[in-house]
Amino acid sequence: MFNKKLLTAAAVSAALASSASFAGTLDSVKERGSLQCGVSSGVPGYSVPDDKGTWTGLDVDVCRAIAAAVLGDATKVKYIPLTAKERFTALSSGEIDVLSRTTTWTLTRDSQLGINFAGVNYYDGQGFLVKKDLGVSSVKELDGATICIQSGTTTELNTADYFNANGLAHTPVTFDTNDQAATAFDTGRCDAFTTDLSQAFALRSRMGDPSSVVALPEVISKEPLGPSVKQADDQWFNMVKWSLNAMINAEELGITSENVDDLKANSKNPSIQRLLGGSEGLSKGLGVDDDWAYRIVKQVGNYGESFDRNLGAGSALGIDRGINALWNQGGFLYAPPIR
Amino acid sequence: MINEQQPTLPAPASTIGLVGWLRTNLFNTPMNSIATIVMLYLCYLWLTPIFDWVFISADWAGTTRESCTSGGACWVFITQRIDQFMYGFYPADETWRLNVTFFAFVALIAWLIWPNLPKKGLVAAFTLLIFPFIAFVLLSGGYFGLEHVETHKWGGLSLTLVLAVVGIVAALPLGILLALGRRSEMPIVRAMSVAYIEIWRGVPLITVLFMASVMLPLFLPEDMHFDKLLRALIGITMFQTAYMAEVIRGGLQAIPKGQYEAADALGLGYWQKMVMIILPQALKLMIPGVVNTFIALFKDTSLVLIIGLFDLLAIVQAAQNDPKWIGYATEGYVFVAFVFWIFCFGMSRYSQHLEKMLHTGHGSRA
């Protein structure tokens, strides 16, 4: 109920905002000389401060990419840590320019909160972890199982829905935090543990014996996470959208932060040349110079590099690319071409 | 001869010293003896593993989680991040400013509470009226060539202290005014004081903070942005003022009517009466209540984590989410609890000392 009121309040404010005339966000970011980016107050691999206070993570890299494109310097970002409840207000009140905080793209959010989702930077979904020695290879075999869940979340409802729909019995064992639920599963309190897969892998990495825990193949909910901006500022919406697209396209074209200079100077591939600013005037409509995507790749890296550094093999989490691989490598990631 | 006074014998060994104390307090009846032994055994069962975890098999030295192999507490997590827990995201080259502010404040307070130092009035005025501005310039910068440090970079213990100190320092004088207002004979002043106190006391602090951070920006014009920390500070102060006012009103009510009448008979005006006769007596009576409120406020500051400010608790929680350190939540929470306990226990001891020192007259001497 409270949420509904909050939604209404946010929608009203957004409506007011769109009727008022404002200078475009792109111009105000340039004028300010820094990007205000809303991030989480700590989600492993997505946005988290390291021991020197530098923000790192997949969501943080989106902010850095936008700053590199617009301001020419990926470090010119002011990170505003937000809780899940605050995030949409901060965006519609103009406290932040872009929200990059593990936010699921849904109909209600897109249509009622006065915000626009600029794309998807991680396809998440709810999954199940079990111990290998349970000998289970599918959720369908979990009839009558006890399942550790964080209470009061959509996770709990999704699980009940899924089990009911498949005519399976289950006993949920709920905990206040995901952390407790994972610990309980690890110590043998439940047969299975369920949460969003990105979280599940992070939590698995700290279990007693991570290699004895496997994820079941079923993913029972869709959680596309992505950056969002305030509605009714199309120029800025495009900027954010294409910053993310540039990272994905760069990976597809094999451009990395290491070979970008070489490719810019020597590549004969017209797609690469277009992305790296070789075709003059292409980015006029975006409101930035032609080298914007070059700067993103040079300073932040392509999507694959970012994923690997924050979530994948190069990180402590070790998450597989899975459905987050490129479209031509069996995943969902597909960015419209830059031409 | 026989009637000659014998020298006094020392008390029997079984009634003095440690043994005597044990015999009278812990082993005075068979039932108590059994209870003592059972309790000691339970303490042994409970405390040994804790002691072992905290000290004996804990890891203290190292730089990464690979250093934590012994199975006890991994204090490396804390030592590696201690700067961040203390200073938040404050630029490393500028942390001297936090230190200077903190130690200057401690020195001023020490001056005020140390008995028999001269010029306390002057120092008090400086601490209350001038020091806040110096502290603000030092912390926030932007003047005199100091680099401007935006408030979203403040964090850790220093942010907790800023919240608590501002709340405490601002709430006490405002609370006194409100309490006097509530006991005033002027109907409008009284009605407004009552309304203020009852409204703010009637809402939870978490609601106040939530309003300040989530709802308030929606009511403000598009390009008007209040600093989030400032919003939280105002919220905490307004909330705390209401509580303080009620504690002080309790103290005022405890002063016998004769004191008021005597002051009137001397021909003192309202403020003279209050400042010279009533408040000095009343404030002494209120010490336990006021300190209790301070301690509650100090701990309440950790609620700002729901509005995304990185106080000590929030920054430790954020650090637990660093993929490099996932799984050391217990150490983090123990550390936070220890720091909070040190501060709260210190405040509590000082208040007891103050009560003893000021215990000079009136009322029952318990």
Tell me if A2-123+224-329 shares its fold with A126-221.
yes
Instruction: Indicate whether this complex's ipTM tops 0.90.
Output: no
pLDDT at A201: 81
Chain B residues whose beta carbon lies within 8 Å of the beta carbon of residue A187: none
Give pLDDT tens digits for A254-302: 999 999 999 999 999 999 999 998 888 888 889 999 999 999 999 999 9
Count Cα neighbours of B223 within 13 Å in the Cβ-side half-sphere.
7
A92 touches chain B (CB under 8 A): yes
Say how far apart CA A306 and CA A58 lie, in whole Å. Answer: 6
Residue of B81, B321, B328 to mutate when probing chain A, most A C-beta within 10 A: B321
Q: Is the pLDDT of residue A219 over 50?
A: yes
Give pLDDT tens digits for B61-118: 888 877 888 778 888 888 888 888 888 888 888 888 888 888 998 888 888 877 777 8
Pairwise pLDDT comparison (A147 vs B285), residue with the higher score: A147
Say how far apart CA A69 and CA A63 lie, in whole Å. Answer: 10
Give the end-to-end CA distance of chain A in Å, rounded to a whole number: 46
Domain A126-221 indexed as CATH 2.102.10.10: no
Chain B residues whose beta carbon lies within 8 Å of the beta carbon of residue A90: 217
Q: Are A80 and B308 in contact (CB under 8 A)?
A: yes
User: Residue A99 forms beta bridges with which residues?
Assistant: A38, A228
Alpha-carbon gap: A205 to the closest alpha carbon of chain B (Å): 8
Alpha-carbon gap: A310 to the closest alpha carbon of chain B (Å): 9
Pairwise pLDDT comparison (A31 vs B19), residue with the higher score: A31
Q: What's the total number of domains in chain B?
A: 1
CA distances from B350 to A62, A309, B112, B114, B124 (A): 50, 51, 13, 11, 18
Alpha-carbon gap: B226 to the closest alpha carbon of chain A (Å): 9
Chain B residues whose beta carbon lies within 8 Å of the beta carbon of residue A31: none
Give the relative orientation of helices B312-320 and B76-87 as an angle to the nearest 10 degrees. 140
Residue of A59, A83, A233 to mutate when probing chain B, most B C-beta within 10 A: A83
Alpha-carbon gap: A278 to the closest alpha carbon of chain B (Å): 38
Instruction: Assess if residue B140 is contained within a domain.
Output: no
Q: What's the predicted TM-score (pTM) here?
A: 0.81
Instruction: Assess if residue B32 is contained within a domain.
Output: no
Closest chain A residue to the Cα of B225, Cα to Cα: A95
Q: What angle do CA B192, B195, B196 make, to 5 degrees?
A: 85
B220 touches chain A (CB under 8 A): yes
DSSP run (H or E) holding A143: none
DSSP string, A296-333: HHHHT--HHHHHHHHTSTTSSS----GGGSBGGGTSSB
Say how far apart CA A210 and CA A337 lie, in whole Å. Answer: 40
Alpha-carbon gap: B68 to the closest alpha carbon of chain A (Å): 13
Give pLDDT tens digits for A322-332: 889 999 999 99
Instruction: Assess if residue B331 is contained within a domain.
Output: yes
Domain spans in chain A, listed from the N-terminal domain onward: 2-123+224-329, 126-221
Of A81, A90, A202, the CB nearest to B323: A202
Looking at domain A2-123+224-329, its CATH class is alpha beta
Chain B residues whose beta carbon lies within 8 Å of the beta carbon of residue A9: 215, 218
Strand-pair category, A98-99 with A35-40: parallel
Say how far apart CA A150 and CA B353 lie, in whole Å. Answer: 47
Chain B residues whose beta carbon lies within 8 Å of the beta carbon of residue A51: 80-81, 84, 319, 322, 324
CA distances from B162 to A111, A215, B297 (A): 40, 45, 12
Of A9, A48, A81, the CB nearest to B308: A81
Would the CB atoms of B326 and A80 count as touching at under 8 Å? Answer: no
pLDDT at A14: 47
Give pLDDT tens digits for B177-197: 999 999 888 999 999 999 999
Say how far apart CA A66 and CA A238 lie, in whole Å. Answer: 11
Q: Is the pLDDT of residue A145 over 80?
A: yes
Chain A residues whose beta carbon lies within 8 Å of the beta carbon of residue B89: 49, 53
Count the neighbouring beta carbons within 10 Å of the beta carbon of residue B314. Answer: 27
> Average pLDDT, stretch A174-196?
86
Q: Which of A163, A170, A212 is nearest to A188 (CA)?
A: A212
Would the CB atoms of A81 and B152 count as touching at under 8 Å? Answer: yes
Of A12, A43, A205, the CB nearest to B321: A43
Instruction: Assess if residue B21 is contained within a domain.
Output: no
Alpha-carbon gap: B320 to the closest alpha carbon of chain A (Å): 8
CA distances from B68 to A201, A287, A318, B55, B267 (A): 22, 51, 21, 13, 73
CATH number for B251: 1.10.3720.10
Phi-psi region of B203 (alpha: psi -120 to 50; beta: other; left: phi over 0): beta
What the block records as the tokens of A333 is 């990631």
CB < 8 Å & 24+ apart, contacts of B128-136: B128/B169, B128/B173, B131/B104, B131/B105, B132/B169, B134/B101, B134/B104, B135/B101, B135/B104, B135/B105
A58 touches chain B (CB under 8 A): no
> Average pLDDT, stretch A84-99?
86
Strand-pair category, A170-175 with A145-150: parallel
Closest chain A residue to the Cα of B149, Cα to Cα: A78
A51 touches chain B (CB under 8 A): yes
Say how far apart CA A113 and CA A224 lie, in whole Å. Answer: 17
Which residue's structure tokens are 């003095």?
Answer: B16
A18 touches chain B (CB under 8 A): no
Chain B residues whose beta carbon lies within 8 Å of the beta carbon of residue A85: 210, 214, 306
B206 touches chain A (CB under 8 A): no
Of chain A, the percentage scoring pLDDT greater than 90 comes to: 50
The band of A66, judged by pLDDT with boundaries at 50, 70 and 90, is very high
Closest chain A residue to the Cα of B209, Cα to Cα: A86
Give pLDDT tens digits for A155-164: 888 899 999 9
Residues of chain B with pLDDT under 50: 363-366
CB < 8 Å & 24+ apart, contacts of A260-266: A260/A294, A260/A297, A260/A298, A261/A298, A264/A294
Instruction: Assess if residue B287 is contained within a domain.
Output: yes
Would the CB atoms of B323 and A51 count as touching at under 8 Å? Answer: no
The dihedrals phi and psi of B208, each to the nearest 5 degrees, come to -60, -45
pLDDT at A180: 79
Chain A residues whose beta carbon lies within 8 Å of the beta carbon of residue B153: 53
Of B218, B306, B329, the CB nearest to A9: B218
Residue of B214, B229, B231, B316 to mutate when probing chain A, most A C-beta within 10 A: B214
Range in A17-21, A73-77, A310-314 with the lowest mean pLDDT: A17-21
Residue of A39, A43, A77, A206 to mutate when probing chain B, most B C-beta within 10 A: A206
Of B214, B222, B318, the CB nearest to A41: B318
Domain range spanning residue B217? 76-90+149-358
